[in-house]
Structure 1
């Protein structure tokens, strides 16, 4: 099954490239002349019907919404108009009106989606700012609020990531987080994680100035693109610093909520915790172990060993930036008040085991 899923995109791109190359060669090779009178209609049919159908069968059908098919249609229309010589296109007003109508409808449709998304985001932000803290962190509160109003697609997850970065980078410096339900445990005060991030910001600022000047001598567009990328990276590190400060681990009778800066977060039901022990394993994990382990230890100048290891009964889902996820059954973490955290969580886990 996994092999079949991996082959689907390959089949789609292979068939699509063959179709495009065939039609491109048709109008460029001299020995194909003379061409049939209505050959352009066949090209338009392949680009606006066949390729969208292939995209639906091989990619969209089981992964994405059918609303993406019209985007493939309009992309095929534009590509066909680029390949087919102007004198070969049907010279009727009806055909021109048809293409114009398709493009206009799709543009209006996309604008409606953008308008609806913007309104939904504004309402969600208002609800998060004015409502009760249904979750410990801004991104989780926004996700829960948005999921009540719309489907959380990968695009929406990317938008949520950008909103989270901007929120913590700009709007959290003088804002105190609402009181969280449960015991809170900071995880950065005994580390050099924040100093490490400020060092990276300093290095990026220096690099941005120097490389921007050098790239401007070669290509202005590349220089500005590189500068914007560095500015975004600096904002991400600033947001990460604030998220580390204002997003401690939260533990209550029902769940343990973990967020490691902006990069990743995990919510674990206490009933799903098999055990918590002091970590005595190796400093470096194997690739297989890394894939199934949530490492909540902050990155510093040197990688530190975690203080505790939590084993789960069933795998839990880790949420990362831009909507990426992974399943884990082991958690590695360190906290500032390690002994208190260890005793409280072990007590809750033992109570859960006794009540079963």
Structure 2
């Protein structure tokens, strides 16, 4: 069904992964391939530790999740190599274990450094944050402005905005409700999709994987197993934060702007006077790669991605904000909302007034 609906990525990804792992397993366990050149071990390691993580990035992680989650398929590939390649051949490559430990350790050290910086400037940061939160803005906007006031034009400001948003939405937002007293025109965009179920499924899969991978890696190397555990916990927090942010950040019309924040992954603020026109979308199901270069796709991830409801054209190019301070220039926005007719009438009326 997924393939017929034009979303075959998961099926293709799994088929390729099974082919790679299956081929490597047969080389070492089927007599037909014996004897083999011991250099084949290098090829197997490349398959498991390089090819599989790269495929995972392009099929699953890219444009959806934090790049740091690449550590999970990297460690899973290492575990697969450990059980596929006979130990007498793998022992010659013990240095590989320490390379992985160093790579994952650097990610962990960077996370701890960010945490230290936030704690160091916490009183000043909270003061700046509270001054802005009274205006009814979303957490990411408030935190970004607060960090800019303390770390102007800093890499820490860009990365800190994403990191603090992940921890806020995943750990401290469960009692929060959408503020309807300050902003009247708000439009949810997730209730008619399966995005919540999709993220819950991914959380469930990661928890099960964490138990198995932690047990297996603990036998191989306890250091790797605990680093893996940390990264998996971080990824679970990322998905929880995405669920909460989607729930708490409806599309708004605020201060003569169309404010769009889709979870914690992407956001854009468009002055209403910069909107050329809004139309019901009547194009093909999928956009070409060239089109996507200049489109802000404000739809949430779903099991089966439906066509967007609306096409919004801009008079001038605007900047969209992505994870970790990355930006994108766009001149067109496609999106869906749960109340399409009310959204269309509200935007149309606002454009006439402007």
Which TM-score tier does this pair reach, normalised by the shorter chain?
0.5 to 0.7
Q: Is the 8 A contact 1:146 1:152 kept in 2?
A: no
> Which of 291, 295, 298 is matched with 1:296 structurally?
298
Secondary structure of residue in 2 paired with 1:217 = helix
Question: Which position in structure 2 is the counterpart of 1:161?
Answer: 162
Unaligned regions of 5+ residues in structure 1, if any?
Answer: 1-112
Distance 1:115 1:210, change over 3 A: closer
Question: Which position in structure 2 is the counterpart of 1:194?
Answer: 196
Between the aligned partners of 1:277 and 1:289, the Cα distance in structure 2 is 17
Question: Which position in structure 2 is the counterpart of 1:254?
Answer: 256
Question: Normalization by structure 1: what TM-score?
Answer: 0.63
Deviations 1:48-92 (A, max 9, x none): xxxxxxxxxxxxxxxxxxxxxxxxxxxxxxxxxxxxxxxxxxxxx
Matches within 5 A, 1:209-248: 209-248=211-250
Structure label with greater radius of gyration: 1
Shift of 1:114: 9.9
Question: Which position in structure 1 is the counterpart of 2:331?
Answer: 329
Between the aligned partners of 2:294 and 2:177, the Cα distance in structure 1 is 34
Secondary structure of residue in 2 paired with 1:313 = strand
Between the aligned partners of 2:116 and 2:285, the Cα distance in structure 1 is 49
Between the aligned partners of 1:172 and 1:160, the Cα distance in structure 2 is 16
Question: Which position in structure 1 is the counterpart of 2:186?
Answer: 184
Between the aligned partners of 2:338 and 2:251, the Cα distance in structure 1 is 11
Question: Normalization by structure 2: what TM-score?
Answer: 0.64
Distance 1:232 1:115, change over 3 A: closer
Matches within 5 A, 1:1-356: 118-129=119-130, 132-134=133-135, 136-178=137-179, 179-252=181-254, 254-352=256-354
Distance 1:300 1:116, change over 3 A: closer
Between the aligned partners of 2:315 and 2:309, the Cα distance in structure 1 is 20
Q: Is the 8 A contact 2:268 2:321 kept in 1?
A: yes
RMSD, aligned α-carbons: 2.1
Between the aligned partners of 2:153 and 2:263, the Cα distance in structure 1 is 22
Larger RCO, structures 1/2 (Cα 8 Å, 6+ apart): 2
Deviations 1:299-330 (A, max 9, x none): 01111111001000111111111111111111
Q: Is the 8 A contact 1:134 1:141 kept in 2?
A: no
Q: Is the 8 A contact 1:253 1:270 kept in 2?
A: no
Unaligned regions of 5+ residues in structure 2, if any?
Answer: 1-113
Deviations 1:144-202 (A, max 9, x none): 22323331422221122111111101111013354443411111111111111111100
Secondary structure of residue in 1 paired with 2:224 = helix
Distance 1:321 1:116, change over 3 A: closer
